[in-house]
Amino acid sequence: MSTMITEECINCGVCEPECPNEAISEGEETFQIDPELCTECVGFHDEEQCAAVCPVDCCVPDPNRREDEAALLERAKAIHPDKAAELTLSPQTSRFRAA
Ligand code: SF4
Ligand 1, atom 1, residue with closest C-alpha: 9
Q: Is 12 in the pocket of ligand 1 (CB under 6 A)?
A: yes
pLDDT value for 31? 98
pLDDT value for 29? 96
Ligand 1, atom 3, residue with closest C-alpha: 15
Q: Is 33 in the pocket of ligand 1 (CB under 6 A)?
A: no
pLDDT value for 99? 78
pLDDT value for 1? 64
Q: Measure Cα distances from 7 to 28, 51, 60, 62, 92 in Å.
A: 11, 14, 11, 13, 30
The overall pTM is greater than 0.85 = yes
Give the angle 57-30-69 at the CA atoms, nearest 5°. Answer: 55
Render each residue's pLDDT in the chain as its tens digit; 99 residues: 689 999 999 999 999 999 999 999 999 999 999 999 999 999 999 999 999 999 999 999 999 999 999 999 999 999 999 999 999 999 999 999 987
Q: Are 5 and 32 in contact (CB under 8 A)?
A: yes
Q: Which atom of ligand 1 is nearest to the CA of 13?
A: 6
Q: Is 54 in the pocket of ligand 1 (CB under 6 A)?
A: yes
pLDDT digits (tens, 9 = 90+) for 80-91: 999 999 999 999
Could you give the CA distance from residue 1 to residue 63 in angstroms, rounded to a whole number?
A: 7
